[in-house]
Amino acid sequence: MVCGVLAIGCNLAWGRPVAAAPTRGKLEAKATTKASKPKVDQGHPKAAPVSTPARQRAERLGLGTRRAAGELLAGRVSDAWLRSVGSEKAPSTLKFPVAKGWFVRGFGSGAGGYHQAMDIGGELGSNVRAAAPGLVGYAGNELSGYGNLVILIHTGGFVTAYAHNAKNRVVPGQRVERGQVIAELGSTGRSKGPHVHFEFLHGGQNCDPAGLFRPGVRRRDGSTMPLPRTSWPDPKRRPKGLACHPRKHHPGNVTAAPPEATEADPDEPEDGDGAP
């Protein structure tokens, strides 16, 4: 018995198990596995988190947090965030974010006009694209009702948000081009069917994006809605006729709104939201 244990020790010291009596086979195998583990770990140290420029930027600026998302959905953009957008010109117009998507409902719809966003229906998994060049301020799923959510910050203090995604395809701190794929269209969060809940904010208010979309707002049959088109080249001068309002809450929400309640209830099911 003693010899057997010693034999195992010797074998391990040389790094090679030798044929042993059948009765000790299990014991040897176990001992070999245990003794080998540290070796393997040494050879493959735990990988350090990859520190990409986007990650560094997000950490430095406090992007990607629930708090950042709450600020952005209230239309508040810090100077430090704006300096990091990486695009010199304000967007002026917005790209319709789902190429073959269709209008479901618009700004000011829903009970009491609380829905200050546009819902764009589309095929599950289709590409959701950045409406303008910008910086990813948030990409996560921590806000009630929104599901997988991406929020972009744009030059001039504009913010766009894309909710209910099947999957987010960008990370906080990342810079994106106009038209770049940022998510896959889905129905996560409070949603009755695949669509993008698109919000457009400026100066602490939600604004109606409809007239800014290019090539226009598409209907399900492929036609373009006959809407008056406008552009917003100077962030300080809002175009005439473009509506902006402080965020409204659904009339059914009777509880007092905490500061971050701006994130709650993007789409209320009783309004048949998003069900194409």
Residue of minimal CB distance from Zn ion? Answer: 197
* Minimum distance from residue 197 beta carbon to Zn ion (Å): 3
Contacts of 44 (CB under 8 A, 6+ apart): none
Helices and strands in the chain: count of H runs, count of E runs: 5, 14
Nearer to Zn ion, 58 or 264 (CB): 264
Secondary structure, 3-state, 26-78? HHHHHHHHHHHHHHHHHHCCCCCCCCCHHHHHHHHHCCCCHHHHHHHHCCCCC
Binding residues for Zn ion restricted to 81-140, rule: CB under 5 A = 117, 119
Question: Residues touching Zn ion: how many (CB under 5 A)?
Answer: 4
Of 57-65, 121-129, 184-192, 262-270, the window that binds Zn ion (rule: CB under 5 A) is 262-270
Of 11 and 116, nearer to Zn ion (C-beta) is 116
For Zn ion, the closer of residues 103 and 158 by Cβ is 103
Cβ contact 246:263 at 8 Å:
no
Handedness of CA 140, 242, 107, 180 (dihedral sign): negative
Nearer to Zn ion, 174 or 188 (CB): 188
Tell me the window of 20-28, 57-65, 141-149, 265-273 that interacts with Zn ion (CB under 5 A). Answer: 265-273
Q: Which parts of the chain are beta strand (E)?
A: 94-95, 102-105, 118-121, 127-129, 134-140, 148-154, 158-165, 167-168, 175-176, 181-184, 195-202, 205-207, 213-214, 244-245
Cβ nearer to Zn ion, comparing 71 with 267 = 267
Window 175 to 204, contacts with Zn ion (CB under 5 A):
197
Nearer to Zn ion, 105 or 202 (CB): 105
Taking the C-alpha atoms of residue 182 and residue 69, their distance in angstroms, rounded to an integer, is: 16
Shortest Cβ 271–Zn ion spacing (Å): 9
Q: Which of 71, 263, 267, 268 is the binder for Zn ion (CB under 5 A)?
A: 267
Smallest gap from residue 101 Cβ to Zn ion (A): 13
Contact set with Zn ion (CB under 5 A): 117, 119, 197, 267
